[in-house]
Chain A
Amino acid sequence: MEILIVVLIGILFSVATYLILTKSLFRVVLGTVLISHGAHLLILTMGGLGVGSAPLLGEEASSYTDPLPQALILTAIVISFGMTALLLVMTYRTYKVHQTDDLDKLRGRSDE
């Protein structure tokens, strides 16, 4: 199970890297979304997957799922959700002001 998820994380990261390196503003935003998904899945996987038991119930519980990674990614998801919303608004405004979403044309002049 872990191996499968790790491969998935790898795919997410490589697709995200590709998207961040493209020239379109919107694709860059999608890239940051995917890269944070990859990071969230990594946290979940690193806590151990598929134990199939409840989060720690009493000190003598024979097997348990670590609840901490889930608490961590919940926070991280909320943060990345907020960031993405802000970034989308910024992208839209940039597009409206500059009339282009091509990052090459958004480089600015060298004398600025």
Chain B
Amino acid sequence: MSNFLMLPILLPMFIGTLLIFFAKKHKLQRVIAGTAAIAQLGVAIYLGYIVYVDASQIITLEVGDWSAPFGIVLVADMLATMMVLLSSIVGVVCLFFAFKTIHSEREKFYFYPFYFFLLTGVNGAFLTGDLFNLFVFFEVMLIASYVLIVHGGTGYQLRESFKYVVMNMVASAFFLVGLALLYATTGTLNMADLAERVQVMGQEGILNVIAIVFLFVFGAKGALFPLYFWLPKSYYGPPAAISALFGGLLTKVGIYAIIRMFTLIFIHNTGFTHTIILALAGATMFFGVLGAVSQFDFKRILSYHIISQVGYMVMGLGIYTQLALAGAIYYIAHHIIVKSALFLFAGATEKITGTTDLKKMGGLLKTHPWVGWLFFISAMSLAGIPPLSGFFSKFALILSAIQEQSYVIVTVALVVGILTLFSMMKIFMYAFWGEPTIPVEKVNRKEMFSLLRPIIPLVALTVCLGFFAEPVFQYSLGVADQILDPANYVNAVLGSK
């Protein structure tokens, strides 16, 4: 019982509302937004800490004192607090990058309020313990994301975002369909209560159908094969700070929801559901990386990589052992950090060269060595070169797949790893090698460092996640342990009765 649990949701909501009133004063807006984002990071760290030291490692809050299966509950277990922490880190970093790169016209038109509303929705989706509430927070997040993705209103953005919005609205309608069917079958929408009732009823017939409806819904939001087609083009449109926030966070909310649903509620027919998930994971990885290999644009390659890496996370869930889930959780942490960093690098090179087309760049290593080498570290981390963080998470996933003797997925994962390395090297060769397109004398070192300042913490974090893999992996194993046993969750939410 802790009211503190509300703070990661209330703080950004309050700040977002406050910022509406100062829309035209962008200095003041920046001060408020920056302070609030750092405060939020502090809150997230503290929340993660108190959940970690708590005896059961799950803290619940019954909103308005309505007891658990009837009212709305907020639940912070280790997975949720880890995700809140990651979203806050990305939130701070992208915000500070936005200060440097967002056009002041965009700033005046309510960029910061919607930024914070997005974080409200994301944190809410992580912390809620009620399915309908999850829907509401998804919509809060999505409506803010619709606004941010068309923000600026260029022709390209309008055209591609329309498809993004329609896709998500259809998925949301099916979310409601799933909720309706689930409510009719079980009579509850509280996740802990659902876990209990599905166990009693046995997961057969209609409950399998509902599981697949939810897989479709969250798969569409998390860009699983074959529902990923909207992602690469729509993420290309907005400025890099927004792309980085979306690339880091938005699809991961869908993946988080899949992991939550399929480790807590729909776990009694794993032969059916988790096999489908594993097959989808393989196809997602493979087709995503093929898209990345075919592209010649910095941001587009990164957008396609989101798809292929979502596959790795879902692969951990599909294998469904402790090691695999720990690998998936480690991968989520690694991915959110590295992917945001890479998108910010795309933004930095765009700011420097004025384009994201790789064929028009070149020689940045000579003119901007720091950008080049820091990008190299993040790219190697993404491709999974030891001792960086990408390696350990992929290693755990592949090891567990070998233990479970699913050799097809092992092959796919390894091939995808090589193709990832290939496409990251393509970016490095085209953008950073060769003859400089900008004369060396014209380089403004001060500007370069001001662009890099927000990115450096992310690169440092991915290096730390790699070098301190042991404690991080212990933590992931702890999270995996906790979500593999739904009784923990159910007791924490319903046990107090």
Contacts and interface: CB of A to CB of B under 8 A. Distances in A.
A108 B179 contact: no
Interface stretch (B165-173, B222-230, B327-335): B165-173
A3 B160 CA distance: 40
B143 A98 contact: no
Interface string B122-161: 0000000000100110010001001100100101101111
A20 B143 CA distance: 20
Contact of A87 (B165, B179, B180, B184): B165
A91 B162 CA distance: 8
Interface size class of chain A, counting residues whose CB lies under 8 Å from the partner chain:
20 to 34
B469 interface: no
B494 interface: no
Specify which of A75, A80, A94 lies most central, judged by the most chain B CB atoms within 10 Å of its CB: A94
Interface size class of chain B, counting residues whose CB lies under 8 Å from the partner chain:
20 to 34
Given A20-B170, A35-B173, A43 B159 contact: no
Contact of B143 (A45, A69, A82, A108): A82
Contacts, number: 95
A94 B143 contact: no
A43 B182 CA distance: 10
B133 to A, nearest CB: 10
Specify which of B177, B180, B183 lies most central, judged by the most chain A CB atoms within 10 Å of its CB: B180
Nearest to A37: B173
A86 B183 contact: no
B139 A90 contact: no
Contacts of A80: 169, 172-173
Contacts of B233: 108
A93 B153 contact: yes
A46 B147 CA distance: 33
B162 A108 contact: no
B174 A20 contact: no
A47 interface: yes
Contacts of A46: 180-181, 183-184
Interface string A44-68: 0111000000000000000000001
B176 interface: yes
A97 interface: yes
Interface in A66-102: 68-69, 72, 75-76, 79-80, 82-83, 86-87, 90-91, 93-94, 97-98
A104 B139 CA distance: 29
A97 to B, nearest CB: 5
Contacts of B184: 46-47
A45 B177 CA distance: 11
A97 B177 contact: no
Contact of B139 (A45, A83, A97): A83
Given A32-B173, A83-B143, A42 B180 contact: yes
A28 B170 CA distance: 11
B162 A25 contact: yes
Interface string A22-43: 0001001000100110111011
A39 B150 contact: no
Nearest to B236: A112
A79 B179 CA distance: 15
B301 to A, nearest CB: 14
B169 A83 contact: yes
B139 A79 contact: yes
Contacts of B132: 72, 75
A39 B174 contact: yes
A7 B459 CA distance: 56
B177 A86 contact: no
B159 A39 contact: no
A75 B162 CA distance: 24
Contacts of A40: 176
A112 B158 contact: no
Contact of A69 (B136, B169, B183): B183
Contacts of B159: 94, 98, 106, 108
Contacts of A98: 155, 158-159
Contacts of B161: 90
Specify which of B135, B166, B183 lies most central, judged by the most chain A CB atoms within 10 Å of its CB: B166
A43 B143 CA distance: 22
Interface of A: 20, 25, 28, 32, 35-36, 38-40, 42-43, 45-47, 68-69, 72, 75-76, 79-80, 82-83, 86-87, 90-91, 93-94, 97-98, 106, 108, 112
6 contacts: A36-B173, A36-B176, A42-B180, A91-B162, A98-B158, A108-B156
**CB-based closest 7 A-B pairs:** A46-B184, A39-B176, A43-B180, A46-B180, A94-B158, A42-B180, A35-B173
Given A72-B179, A87-B169, 5 more contacts: A35-B170, A82-B143, A83-B165, A91-B162, A97-B155
